[in-house]
Structure 1
């Protein structure tokens, strides 16, 4: 199973793409409030792949150490959400959060907290918006910061003997002059993905019956 086409119809994939883009746009608003400057987040691609393939894909694309902020989410569908980006860009992101006046030698001391808060804003904003549009409650755990290569980041979320699927979103961050690429990965088992698909189908039905003319 190497793409969303394996389990979603074209219409379902389009609906999911819309949900994700709306969620990421809302997350950008929250991040803009936190950093006090214009934030643009875009999702040019969405893939549904296994954890093993996701780990290999990140390794091939980046070829360097990564940082991830991970949070569990639970509701009618559940799993693990991760915001992943190259470690080399982490201090740029921290600088954007804490401001230019912070001395360089002090950045490392607050890096963990700033990254966790950034991940929390983006992941919570994205998933909460998606859950709201799907008319489902969703709770999220506290964020934790992980470091390592693709294999290291994806291995902890795996259940022994099980290779769950990853809804893999390639995202572009743009904060003024800071260009930071990254990924959002939602790791879910097959029952959760089946539930998500059913909710997407319900969402499509509501949109199709909407007299306001809103279209996917």
Structure 2
């Protein structure tokens, strides 16, 4: 399978579309965290599955990982990675917990992280669906109990049309109080990337501006 051919312009358009979706997600997150959320420009890579799993596995010992799958016209997942410091901060702000034990999550904390993931993924998916005029939705988030690599393999392997390339965006929400970062990974399979490119090319050929700008 050859790597999809993506021009620099198409890559920039995809990055801008994702930026719009992520900005909406950052606003939603800021409302929960009661803090200003800074968003770094996403890094777009096309990498192989084994590289993706290796990348994600590095976070397993230091972060709680919440996974939400994207379904419908597109196939992908979001992963939100919460550090102990971030969980403590969110627990103080949202749950009024003053002394947060690091390590094990209680049920309220896990519910909070799942709800945050649901809101962020929902905001992102809604924007992507609107811009790309596609029918996509986020499945309820979950905190994988097994190794994240096993959880990801399930998505990748159970998809009969899956090809061994994924499209990843790694961005970070940073809030000012303690400069704690909340990495977000978003990835799609190759077929989704090809669908996105087709949609962008259709808009370009019709001389419509996909981003709705003058």
TM range (shorter): 0.7 to 0.9
The residue that corresponds to 2:120 in the other structure is: 122
User: Partners in 2 of 1:195 and 1:96 — Cα distance?
Assistant: 42
TM-score (normalizing by structure 1) = 0.78
Matching of residue 67 in structure 1 with residue 64 in structure 2: yes
Which residue of 1 is the match for residue 183 of structure 2? 182
Encode CA deviations 1:59-78: one digit per residue, 9 max, x unaligned. Answer: 45x4734432222323322x
The equivalent of 2:91 in structure 1 is: 95
SS of the residue aligned with 1:43?
Answer: coil
- Which structure features the higher share of strand residues? 1
Aligned residue for 1:28?
26
| Distance (whole Å) between structure 1 residues aligned to residue 115 and residue 194 of structure 2 | 31
Change (3 A) 1:204 1:120: farther
In the alignment, the residues of structure 1 paired with residue 146 and residue 7 of structure 2 have an alpha-carbon distance, to the nearest angstrom, of: 35
Note the C-alpha offset of 1:134: 1.1
Structure-2 change in CA distance of 1:96 and 1:103 (3 Å): closer
Structure 2's unaligned 5+ residue stretches are: none
Aligned equivalents of 1:97, 1:156: Cα separation in 2: 35
Quick one: distance in 2 between partners of 1:111 and 1:213?
A: 39
Q: Tell me, what secondary structure is at the counterpart of 1:173?
A: strand
Instruction: After TM superposition, give the deviation of residue 209 of structure 1 in Å.
Output: 4.0
CA RMSD between the two structures: 3.2
Q: Which has the higher helix share?
A: 1
Contact 1:44 1:170 in 2 (8 A): yes
Gap change, CA 1:69 and 1:58, over 3 Å in 2: closer
TM-score for both structures, normalised by structure 2? 0.78
